[in-house]
Chain A
C-alpha cells in the first residue's frame, strides 16, 4: 500500500517528523453534528466554543519503530493512531489478524500481547508501544507451524465465522501463560474480555483445556 501521506494535499508537510500544532479543534466538527440534534445543540455548541479555545490538537505524522513479532517495523502514523490501526492500516504489508469490531475495548477481537500482557490494541496508541514487544496472532504461529493453542482451536472447533478467533487465540495464550493451572471457571474469567457471536465458547474452553493438558503432558507449549 502506498504511504497514505504521500498524497496529502498541499500546505501540509506529511513528513514533518514531529507533531505540528493546529488551532483547529476536532470538537468543532462534533459541534456541527450536535447542531442537528435540536435540544442538545445550544449546550453542545457552547461546549465546543469553549473547547475550541482551550484545546489544541496535534496533527501530522511521526515515525514509529515497533518491535512486532520479533521484527523491527517502522511506519509513519499520527500520534492518535491506535496500535490496531497501525497494524491493519499503516504497516505494509498489513497485519490484519487483529480485528476491528467494537473499537472501544469491549470485544477483545483486537487483542495482542504487549510485553507479555494481553492488551486491546484499539485502546493502545501506536506511539505508546515504542520500545515494547508486540506479539500479534500472526506472531504466535502460521498455518504451516501453528502454536499449541492454535492447533487446539482447530482440533476442538473453537471457531465458527472466525472473526473473534484471533483475539481468543491471543487471549488464551496469555491466560495459559499467566495462569497455567487455571480451572474452567478461572479460564472463563480470563477469557471474559472477548466476545463471540456465533457461540463458540464451549469449544473455545475445550481448546484451552486441551492445550493446557498438552502442556502438562509434554512440557512447555510453543
Chain B
C-alpha cells in the first residue's frame, strides 16, 4: 500500500452550513443500551466467584479506638474476609474516609452487611468539631492536621489596599453590605463511588472496573495495593464502560478503591466494593460551604466603584473553593480577604465549577441590592458593569424570554397579594474550559467498518456520541456507521474529565484522526478518481472529486481499495479548540409569604460555546446546570449534628434533591450569535448562576432578601419574621 501523503491541509471544523452531522440533534449512540438496561455500569458488573464488600464506618468524626473485635463477623455464614483497617489505639481524626474501621467481604451483599453489624467497636468519642463557628474558637480542638498548623483557620490571604477601598466605598454615592451563608452541597452521583476488581495471576493483568472520571490515569494508584511495583501500571486494565455521574467527585481510586484492590489481592477473588448511599454522603465528596460579607459601592448611575469582601471557605479537611471577588463584574477598587476554616468533616472535592456558584451567590446578591438601593433596575445595573458586549446582549435575551419587559416590579420589589408574590431575578456566568493533550485512533477496515477510539469516559455528557459523530462528519457517513470505543485504559490516552476539558481536548484529537484517515483514503483515490488529496467531497456515504460529482465511489467501494485496515492517529490541535464562554440566566418565582414556600415558575439560560457538536446533548447539559442550581438553591444542605457529630443528612430523604414536581418551565438557548469555528466544553458554566437568580427573584417578588441557602420554607419564614 502506498504511503499516505503528508497532510495537504490542516484539519478544520469547516463552515457550519456545510455540516451534515455535527451542530444538529444527534440521538445518543448509547441511548438504546441505557433505556433498556443493557448498559453495564461498574455497579452492574457480575463475575463468577465475586465477593460483595461493605464498609464499617465509625459514626462520628473524632474518636480514640479502644478495641475492634471482628471475630463474630468472621464466624458468620457467608462472610469470607474481614479486613480490619484501624487498630486499638488509633485516633480517628475526621469524618469520611478516616472513619473506615473495617471492610467485610462476603458471598452476598446481605451477608457482608451482617458482618459489618457483627463487628464490636469500643471507642472514646471526642468533640466532633463539625461546626465552623466552633472550629474558629481559641479553645477548639485542633483539626487542622497540616504540619506546624496552630489554628483551624488556614490559607488566609488578603488582596488589595483595604484603607483605599474603604475610602472609596465611603466616597461613593451608594453602597450596600450583606452577609451570606452557603451550606455544603453533595454531588449525589446516582452511581456511588466504587470498583469491581478482578485480580489475576502471574502474567495476566488485573481488571479494574471503576466508576471514574479518569480512566487513562486511574490504574496507577491501584498498583501498590494490588501487590505490583510502581511503574507496573500497564498490568492494571481499567474499564469504565458507563458511569452513573461524577460531577467532579470521581477523580482517583479513593480509599475505597485501595481497599478493594487489597481485598482482591488477599482473597484472590473478584471484589465488588461500591459505597452504600450513606457511605457516599459521608465520604463521596462535597462542594464546600461558604460565608461571605460583601460591601459593594457604586456611583449614582449604578456604576460600581469599590468592593470589600471577607470570605470563608468551609471545606472540612479540604481548603474549600471560592472563585474570588469581584466575581465576573468590573469593579475598579477591590479588597478581598479569603480564608479557609477547617473542621473534622471530610474534604471538599471538585464539583462542577468549583467555587463559582458560591462566589456568584455573594456577588449577585450584592449587585442586586445595590440596584434597588440606587434606583437602577437589576437588569440595567448588570449590563452597566459587565465588560463583554456579548454578555450584555445575553442578558437582554433572557430578560425578553422571561417576560421582564411586562413585569411590574422593576425598581422596587412587589407587594404580595393574598401572601403570594411573583418576581424575576438574574445572574451571569462564564467559564474557561481547557483543552489539553489527548489522542485518538481511527481505524477503517476493508469491509467499510470504522472505529474511533480514545480513552475518555462519558459521564453522561454525550462524549461517546461525538467520538463517533466527528468521524462520521469527516467521512460523509452516518453516526451509526462509526463505532465509538471509550472507557478503556488500553485506548489512546485522554484527559481526566474536570473543568469542562473533555470536549476541548478530545474533539480536536478525534477531528485530527478523522482528518488523517480521510487524507490517507484520498491518497488511494488519486488513481481512481484523479484528484489530489484535499480535492474530494465526502457526503451521504459517497466520495467524488471536487467539481466532478458524476464520477463517485460509495463508501464500501473506497474501503475495498484497502488491502489491510487503515489505522491512523490524531492528537489535540490548538487550532481546533477555543476556551472562554459566557452565559446569562433568569428565573421567575412565586413566593408564598404565609408558608415560606418558593416555587420556581420558569428558568431561562442562554449559553455560548464553540461549535456545538450535538445540540440536543448541549440543551440537556444546559438544563442540567439550571436544575442542579435550582436544587442547590431550594433544597440542598448537608447537616451534621453539632453536639455529637453524626451526619444527619446521609440519605436521599434527608438530603433532598430536586424532583419532577420542582421542575419549572425551562428554556435552554444555545447562543449561536458568534459563529466560532472551534470546539470547547461548557458544562460548568450553566450551573453557576441559577441559585443567585432565584434568590434575586424572591426579593423581587416580595422584598425578602434571602442571604442563607437553601431557600426552604423555614429559611424563607426566618428571613421574613426573624428567628423564633
Q: With A36-B122, A39-B644 as known contacts, state yes or no: A165 contacts B191, CB within 8 Å.
A: no
B38 within 8 A of A: yes
Does A32 lie within 8 Å of B652, measured CB to CB?
no
B59 within 8 A of A: yes
A122 vs chain B, min Cβ distance (A): 11
Contact with B along A188-222 (1 / 0, CB 8 A): 11011011111111111100000000000000000
Contact with B along A42-81 (1 / 0, CB 8 A): 0000000000000000010000000000000000001011
Query: Closest residue to A57 on the B side, CB-wise?
Result: B114
Does A36 lie within 8 Å of B63, measured CB to CB?
yes
Q: Which residues of B contact A89 (CB under 8 A)?
A: 52, 108-109
A4 within 8 A of B: yes
B723 within 8 A of A: no
B616 within 8 A of A: yes
Among candidates A8, A29, A103, A188, residue contacting B277 with C-beta atoms closer than 8 Å:
A103
Q: With A100-B43, A104-B652 as known contacts, state yes or no: A137 contacts B60, CB within 8 Å.
A: no
Query: Closest residue to A82 on the B side, CB-wise?
Result: B110
B33 within 8 A of A: yes
Does B37 lie within 8 Å of A138, measured CB to CB?
yes
> Using a CB-CB cutoff of 8 Å, which residues 147-202 of chain A contact chain B?
150, 153-166, 169, 187-189, 191-192, 194-202
A136 to B109, CA, bound (A): 21
A65 to B681, CA, bound (A): 50
A40 to B48, CA, bound (A): 41
Among candidates B25, B58, B663, residue contacting A201 with C-beta atoms closer than 8 Å:
B663
Q: Which residues of B contact A118 (CB under 8 A)?
A: none
A137 to B644, CA, bound (A): 43
Query: Closest residue to B121 on the A side, CB-wise?
Result: A36
B1 within 8 A of A: no
Among candidates B59, B187, B661, residue contacting A36 with C-beta atoms closer than 8 Å:
B59
B657 within 8 A of A: yes
A103 to B653, CA, bound (A): 11
Q: Which residues of A contact B446 (CB under 8 A)?
A: none
B403 within 8 A of A: no
Does A35 lie within 8 Å of B46, measured CB to CB?
no
A191 to B660, CA, bound (A): 6
Does B107 lie within 8 Å of A29, measured CB to CB?
no
B659 within 8 A of A: yes
Interface of A is mostly: loop
A59 to B118, CA, bound (A): 15
Does B190 lie within 8 Å of A164, measured CB to CB?
yes
Does B117 lie within 8 Å of A163, measured CB to CB?
no
Does B652 lie within 8 Å of A37, measured CB to CB?
no
B626 within 8 A of A: yes
A104 to B30, CA, bound (A): 29
Does B660 lie within 8 Å of A29, measured CB to CB?
no
Does A154 lie within 8 Å of B652, measured CB to CB?
no
Contact with A along B37-60 (1 / 0, CB 8 A): 111110110111110100010111
Q: Which residues of B contact A28 (CB under 8 A)?
A: 118
A20 to B58, CA, bound (A): 32
Query: Closest residue to A167 on the B side, CB-wise?
Result: B190
Does B114 lie within 8 Å of A26, measured CB to CB?
yes
Q: Which residues of B contact A202 (CB under 8 A)?
A: 623, 663, 666, 668
B588 within 8 A of A: no
Q: Which residues of A contact B122 (CB under 8 A)?
A: 35-36
Among candidates A162, A192, A195, A204, residue contacting B39 with C-beta atoms closer than 8 Å:
A162
> Using a CB-CB cutoff of 8 Å, which residues 1-49 of chain B contact chain A?
25, 27-28, 30-41, 43-44, 46-49
A88 within 8 A of B: yes
Q: Which residues of B contact A1 (CB under 8 A)?
A: 46-50
Does A36 lie within 8 Å of B460, measured CB to CB?
no
B627 within 8 A of A: yes
Q: Which residues of A contact B60 (CB under 8 A)?
A: 36-38
Q: Which residues of A contact B43 (CB under 8 A)?
A: 96, 99-100
A77 vs chain B, min Cβ distance (A): 9
Does A197 lie within 8 Å of B37, measured CB to CB?
no
A109 to B189, CA, bound (A): 12
Does A35 lie within 8 Å of B120, measured CB to CB?
yes
A155 to B620, CA, bound (A): 13
A47 vs chain B, min Cβ distance (A): 14
A136 to B702, CA, bound (A): 47
Does A154 lie within 8 Å of B620, measured CB to CB?
no
Does B78 lie within 8 Å of A37, measured CB to CB?
no
Chain A contact residue count (CB 8 A cutoff): 83
Q: With A137-B37, A161-B244 as known contacts, state yes or no: A29 contacts B46, CB within 8 Å.
A: no
Does A154 lie within 8 Å of B31, measured CB to CB?
yes
Does A197 lie within 8 Å of B657, measured CB to CB?
yes
A150 to B585, CA, bound (A): 32
B432 within 8 A of A: no
Does B190 lie within 8 Å of A163, measured CB to CB?
yes
B207 within 8 A of A: no
> Using a CB-CB cutoff of 8 Å, which residues 71-127 of chain A contact chain B?
78, 80-81, 85, 88-89, 93-104, 106-107, 109
**Interface-centre pick from B47, B247, B659 (highest chain A CB count, 10 A):** B659
Query: Closest residue to B25 on the A side, CB-wise?
Result: A157
A143 to B37, CA, bound (A): 9
Contact with A along B244-255 (1 / 0, CB 8 A): 110100000000
B119 within 8 A of A: yes
B104 vs chain A, min Cβ distance (A): 11
Query: Closest residue to A153 on the B side, CB-wise?
Result: B35
Q: Which residues of B contact A164 (CB under 8 A)?
A: 190
Query: Closest residue to A107 on the B side, CB-wise?
Result: B652
Q: Which residues of A contact B34 (CB under 8 A)?
A: 159, 162, 165-166
B206 within 8 A of A: no
Among candidates B189, B244, B658, B668, residue contacting A162 with C-beta atoms closer than 8 Å:
B244
Q: Which residues of A contact B188 (CB under 8 A)?
A: 197
Among candidates A32, A39, A97, A153, residue contacting B31 with C-beta atoms closer than 8 Å:
A153
A133 vs chain B, min Cβ distance (A): 17
B52 vs chain A, min Cβ distance (A): 7
Query: Closest residue to B33 on the A side, CB-wise?
Result: A143
Query: Closest residue to A32 on the B side, CB-wise?
Result: B120
Q: Which residues of B contact A153 (CB under 8 A)?
A: 31, 35
B625 within 8 A of A: yes
Does A36 lie within 8 Å of B190, measured CB to CB?
no
Does A94 lie within 8 Å of B46, measured CB to CB?
yes
Query: Closest residue to A195 on the B side, CB-wise?
Result: B659
Contact with A along B635-670 (1 / 0, CB 8 A): 000000000101000011100011111010010100
Q: Which residues of A contact B624 (CB under 8 A)?
A: 160, 198-200
- A and B contact pairs by CB, cutoff 8 A, 21 listed: A4-B107, A5-B107, A26-B114, A35-B122, A36-B125, A78-B110, A99-B41, A107-B190, A137-B37, A142-B36, A154-B28, A157-B616, A162-B34, A166-B35, A197-B190, A197-B628, A198-B245, A201-B663, A203-B619, A203-B623, A204-B660
A-B pairs with the 10 shortest C-beta distances? A97-B37, A29-B117, A161-B460, A163-B244, A199-B624, A199-B627, A160-B460, A162-B34, A96-B44, A154-B31
Beyond contacts A35-B120, A106-B652, A161-B244: 8 other A-B pairs, Cβ-Cβ < 8 A, are A9-B77, A35-B122, A38-B60, A89-B52, A96-B43, A99-B43, A150-B32, A156-B616
